[in-house]
Chain A
Amino acid sequence: MSYGIKLHLSGDFACFTRPEMKVERVSYDIITPSAARGIIEAIYWKPQIRWIIDRIHVLKPIRFTNIRRNEVGAKASAPTAAAMNGDIVVLPGIIADDPKTRQQRASTLLRDIAYVIEAHFDILDYRFERGGPELPANDCAGKHLDVFKRRARGGQCFHQPCLGNREFPARFSLIEDGDPLPACELPPEQLNKELGWMLHDLSYLPADKKAKDSFLTGRGKRVRTEPRFFHAQLENGIVTVPPLQSATA
């Protein structure tokens, strides 16, 4: 049985920010695997499953546009974040219209995008890892797969999935098994294209206090992140995503 799904994504704007140009944002040419994972997880995710992106089909010509947006230069402090979560009542706040905080920055965005994301998930069997009985994998996987498909068909999501930035909502629809894929409208010169090194995803590594970029997770574990990159290449309009383990760190 295959646990794979195909999801059709589209939107008017998208900004998959390159890490090297994330101040005055410049987008990657196509959606990154981590952004695609985020969209799928917005539809359905449980701690027991881990989504893995297999292939990205690019359906629309890669086009850029340029806008200026008002952004902020400061981060919300820990008390502000706590207040936003409803943990405390007093809101110290971050005043977005404060001229010291407010910043106008340029962004180079993608226009009018559409992708088909092929993905599957792995079952994480924590109990088995700790010496318990092994889960009957297929049953369990079938359940998650059906939940995902039902939710995607109905347009349900935990939060509105977005294309890189919250300002750019993603439209999605499930492509049923056996259904044809939407037509690819890429011009011939973009069908096969070298996209260079692209962010795959972050891997979280245990760290000690000495590592200066370490931080505490919600569960109180001390970790640090390491970005992993892969060599993205459009072949006939499709980017094949290698497993995260094989991506270069």
Chain B
Amino acid sequence: MALTQSDIDVEIKDLQDAYDKAVAGGAPVRHHPSRDYPPYRSSLLRHPKQPLVAVDGGDPETVELSGPVFGVTDITEHDSDLTIQHRGEPLGERMTVSGRLLDRDGRPVRGQLIEIWQANAAGRYAHLREQHPAPLDPNFTGVGRTLTDDQGRYRFTTIKPGPYPWGNHTNAWRPAHIHFSVFGTAFTQRLITQMYFPSDPLFRYDPILQSVTDRAARDRLIATYQHDLSRPEFSMGYEWDIVLDGPSATWIEEGR
């Protein structure tokens, strides 16, 4: 029998309670989701059961302490404006999404590639395997790229994505979100994540967001409406900073 939302809600609550209790008892705060998160059914057969093996990041010859570099030829000017990639205007609420890419010491991570992808305003991806019966928008593909500037800042112009059903369980709906793929100066800083919008009523029902069991960490996935970023008679502004994890040995003081 297909699981209902209330079945999933119980699992989410149990794991949340267990995490809260562990932290209250002195366990470390967990900034990233546990790969083993049963309410997200697709994770069941896709998480390793053996513990990860630690690699000494202090060894300068460790390949992963360096990382891919990207330059201006890797992007085009209109890659960061998802509303001008087709002949007509896409439908939906136009947004400016901007923020800074930082390392854990608060230093800007410069010249790094940020890629985004998302559903359209009706909650449909321009992806053939997607079956959600919402209209495709011929003027919106939902893919963008940019490089961070000297302050580590990125900026995209896009359309607010809609929520959509995703079949994890009966009546499963994803909150509106934008996927982000990010590089740092070290391969170990590689991050793929999702940005959410403030006050979405679907947050509590979504096992993917709730897989981040630390409340403060979860809140860091939610953008802030920023009126100063709104462009008059044009777009709403959202601000979202991204902080890359990774061993402290990755940073080069004179680096990019």
Chain A complexes with chain B: no
B residues neighboring A (CB under 8 Å) = none
A residues neighboring B (CB under 8 Å) = none
